[in-house]
Structure 1
Amino acid sequence: MSLISLITDLFRNLSQQRLRSFLTIFGIMWGTATLILLLAFGTGFRDQTILNMRGMGDQIAIMFPGQTTVAYEGYGIGRPVRFRETDVQLLRDQIADIDVATPEYRESMEISYGTKRRNSSVGGVYPVYQDLRNMFEKAGGRWLNEADVKQRRRVIFLGNRLTENLFEEEDPVGKQVTVSGTPFTVIGVLQEKIQNSSYSQQDRDRAFIPASTYSAMMGTDRLSNILYTPADPGKAETVRDQVYEVMGRKHRFDPSDRDAIGIWDTNEFWSFINVMFLGINGFLVLIGFFTLAVGGIGVANIMFVVVQERMKEIGIRRSVGARRHHIMGQFFLETFMIVGIGAAAGYAVGWLLVEATQDLPIKDFVGSPYFAPEVGLIAFAVLGFVGFAAGLLPAWRASRLDIVECLRR
């Protein structure tokens, strides 16, 4: 039987039972649209979570000084550990798996411009800090550079919301602000970024000056924290253990004493997020699968009816030489055509629903759903399985019918 004949017979059978056919195809359509919408939301949520985390930096670790809780080599507990810039160089020299390490000074200070004043966390940092923390400047300004550090320049980089509070609509670049009474020239403003976590203030409310300027201004070489990135994120845990060993030897504390130094390793989050969203998307696929399975039951039901109504045709085809696999193939093809019609409509409806939800006021929390290629592929795979399962029993039954009984119909 030709493909055109199969299609003609299919639509003739569907038209004979319009309501039943519509409900069956609608079930596949709605199941497909639901699966696509669920997966699109899952993908959008994953990407938004990653984007939020990137506001902190890409796979960085942040070290904070603590105090000992384990006696070690004659030293008692409760002894504070303090960081200095020599510790940063020590980590670079002794841990080959560390790619970048940089110090950070930090203190809350009053920043003023004219009559406007704001208390802000001011960081003393090196130029490489920009790459670690994704600190990108707006057009017309710049980030700190090596000359600023070497010459201890009084220059300052402002967070975007801090800039709005101090300057409102005025262009701040080139203007002077005072930081705890000391004048600084504004060289740049932070480009707006999404950030859902921080360890002092969000970067939009902070200010940054050269580390050398901070140290001279405050008269201290004591660091607030140290940032580093492993050369291979897969070795983050090994690097962390090496950090405790190196710093333990330097500051005389037990490397197993995790309270002596606090380390916030965002690499742990990246590992967790992969597992978490694998589970979330798996759960969403399962929900969509069961929704599609209901539609698949409808398809199987209509195919059983079609087999019953076409028993004489089956008998004639078998009597003139059609093999069982020919009959199975015919009904499998018709099943997939029904599923295909519903799936095509479901893809269209799903895409429209995804587009319609773009402007919902939830983007900052769960992101915007979008129709990614993997969403379409997963939906196609689930539809293929549902179509196979829906067509198997009807096709099998049709191929096993007795020829004589069919011809008697």
Structure 2
Amino acid sequence: MPFQIIKQFFNDMRRQKLRSMLTMFGIFWGTCSIVLLFAFGTGITEAQIKSQKGIGENIAIVWPGITAREFKGLPRGRRIRPTEDDIRLIKQKAQSITHISPEYSRWNVKMKYSRNETIRNVVGIWPEFGLMRNLIPDYGSRFINNLDLSKKRRVAFIGNILKEDLFHEEGAVGKTVMINNVPFTVIGVMKEKKQDSSYNGRDARKAFIPASTFRTMYSFRYVNDFVIQCPPTVSMERAKREVYEIMGAKYRFDPDDTEALKIWDTTRGFAFLRNFFLAFNTFLVGIGVATLITGGIGVTNIMNVVLEERTKEIGIKMALGARKSAILSQFLFETMLITGIGGILGFLFAWGVVSGVGMMGFEDYIGVPRVSLFSGVLAIVLLGIIGTLAGIFPARRASNLQPVQAMKLF
């Protein structure tokens, strides 16, 4: 029986070649659209989130500020300038902060190795800074450690672009570079990373030295800023509140005065990005679904044409004792064949496109598109629903035909 239905199906398709091809193309294109849009949407989303994570995850950057409120008899307009001792105090008292580091910055510093010179930024930090800011040492490198900090060593961890500026193809680790005419030993080079967000320039162009060494060189008393990090399970709002309360108690300002310390909460940007791309991907999938529904309407039309052509045949079958359920099943089966063939071809074509694009090296622009299990399951479910809905009405019409009336039509 299934073999006869399949044979009949291909005979019908041959009689309606143009309609069949257009209908199948609609299903093909709808399936292809869903898979491609979801694959590229997912790739772009992951690429953007990865790029945003280049600055660090679950972190906030805190800058000095000016009080905007009077507090316990003290006037507003007072400058709040944190020191390294304040950061140690926060590290000791704040329960929701897992890592913290001061950040001293010096801009437009001359750096030299052999005959190569450049002007870049120098940053003084604690060892925790590397963990928070995703400064991953390249092969054979290391980051600044506690011994470097306590011994005030003249060592530097440099960004990968700065390494190219000074050393070109030559290895940098172990070499001596002059920073503001002071010799520093390069202990590490940053592994290349994507970074779209920054506040003092890209990490790839900086030199990082121990905070203690920086203070000795430049006699800074106050930090330019400091970075805090909390676990993913802890709200950054709670961590920020602790910073305001601890610093407010020491410098006597209102803990609700957000102007006293300026805080950039990067987790808000991540949340916005995730919500934006969720809506973006939903929109893309919606376009694919709409295209697939259009293809489903085409399936309904061609099955109605098939029904009109085979009305007499159906009448004869029913007169010979064929059940309504058999007629219904036959039409539904043929409908599912149309949607199934179009869907499989569309899925395979989309998979081929995604695989081909993935080998072209466009990761920096569109990420790595991939056909996910979800998109495959979604396409199958939608094909099943659309195939059933597209075939149920012609199938019911066919099964409800009266044998005598059906044979009189021809």
State the TM-score bracket (shorter-chain normalisation).
over 0.9
Letter in 1 for 2:200: S
Match of 2:57 in 1: 58
Distance 1:95 1:297, change over 3 A: same
Distance 1:243 1:401, change over 3 A: farther
Matches within 5 A, 1:106-185: 106-108=105-107, 109-185=109-185
Tell me whether 49-58 or 91-100 shows the greater mean CA deviation: 91-100
* 1:112, distance to aligned residue in structure 2 (A): 1.7
Matches within 5 A, 1:14-29: 14-29=13-28
Q: Is the 8 A contact 1:97 1:232 kept in 2?
A: no
| 1:105-140 Cα shifts (integer Å, max 9, x gaps) | 222222222333322221112222222111112222
Q: Is the 8 A contact 2:58 2:232 kept in 1?
A: no
Q: Is the 8 A contact 2:110 2:119 kept in 1?
A: yes
Match of 2:256 in 1: 256
In structure 2, runs of 5+ residues without a counterpart are: none
Tell me whether 34-43 or 191-200 shows the greater mean CA deviation: 34-43
Tell me whether 185-194 or 313-322 shows the greater mean CA deviation: 313-322
Match of 2:393 in 1: 393
| 1:134-177 Cα shifts (integer Å, max 9, x gaps) | 11122222211222112111110111111111122222211111
Distance 1:323 1:276, change over 3 A: farther
Q: Is the 8 A contact 1:56 1:198 kept in 2?
A: yes
SS of 1:381's partner is: helix
SS of 1:93's partner is: helix
| 1:289-311 Cα shifts (integer Å, max 9, x gaps) | 12222211111111111222222
Tell me whether 35-44 or 362-371 shows the greater mean CA deviation: 362-371
Match of 2:42 in 1: 43
TM-score by length of 1: 0.92
* 1:346, distance to aligned residue in structure 2 (A): 0.6
Letter in 2 for 1:120: R
Distance 1:221 1:11, change over 3 A: same
Match of 2:231 in 1: 231
Q: Is the 8 A contact 2:64 2:260 kept in 1?
A: yes
Cα distance in 2 for residues equivalent to 1:206 and 1:267: 24
* 1:197, distance to aligned residue in structure 2 (A): 1.4
Letter in 2 for 1:223: V
* 1:277, distance to aligned residue in structure 2 (A): 1.3
Distance 1:9 1:224, change over 3 A: same
Cα distance in 2 for residues equivalent to 1:407 and 1:339: 30
Distance 1:385 1:90, change over 3 A: farther
Q: Is the 8 A contact 2:100 2:129 kept in 1?
A: no
Match of 1:30 in 2: 29
Match of 1:69 in 2: 68
Letter in 1 for 2:267: N
* 1:316, distance to aligned residue in structure 2 (A): 4.3
In structure 1, runs of 5+ residues without a counterpart are: none
Distance 1:330 1:240, change over 3 A: farther
Cα distance in 1 for residues equivalent to 2:322 and 2:235: 63
Match of 1:277 in 2: 277
Tell me whether 394-403 or 294-303 shows the greater mean CA deviation: 394-403
Cα distance in 1 for residues equivalent to 2:234 and 2:299: 47
Distance 1:380 1:75, change over 3 A: farther
Letter in 2 for 1:7: I
Cα distance in 1 for residues equivalent to 2:234 and 2:307: 57
* 1:84, distance to aligned residue in structure 2 (A): 1.8
TM-score by length of 2: 0.92
Letter in 1 for 2:143: W
Distance 1:245 1:319, change over 3 A: farther
Q: Is the 8 A contact 1:59 1:270 kept in 2?
A: no
Cα distance in 1 for residues equivalent to 2:116 and 2:147: 30
* 1:317, distance to aligned residue in structure 2 (A): 4.4
Cα distance in 1 for residues equivalent to 2:322 and 2:152: 91
Q: Size of the alignment, in residue pairs?
A: 408
Cα distance in 1 for residues equivalent to 2:215 and 2:3: 82
Letter in 1 for 2:67: T
Cα distance in 2 for residues equivalent to 1:245 and 1:316: 88
Cα distance in 2 for residues equivalent to 1:95 and 1:327: 74
Letter in 2 for 1:193: K
Match of 2:91 in 1: 92
Q: Is the 8 A contact 2:58 2:231 kept in 1?
A: no
Q: Is the 8 A contact 2:103 2:223 kept in 1?
A: yes
* 1:266, distance to aligned residue in structure 2 (A): 1.6
Distance 1:327 1:235, change over 3 A: farther
Letter in 1 for 2:48: T
Cα distance in 2 for residues equivalent to 1:364 and 1:42: 14
Cα distance in 2 for residues equivalent to 1:298 and 1:38: 22
Q: Is the 8 A contact 1:233 1:267 kept in 2?
A: no
Tell me whether 97-106 or 270-279 shows the greater mean CA deviation: 97-106
Letter in 2 for 1:42: G
Q: Is the 8 A contact 1:103 1:223 kept in 2?
A: yes
* 1:320, distance to aligned residue in structure 2 (A): 5.4
Letter in 1 for 2:285: V
Letter in 2 for 1:32: T
Cα distance in 2 for residues equivalent to 1:325 and 1:71: 83
Q: Is the 8 A contact 2:33 2:288 kept in 1?
A: yes
Cα distance in 2 for residues equivalent to 1:286 and 1:110: 54
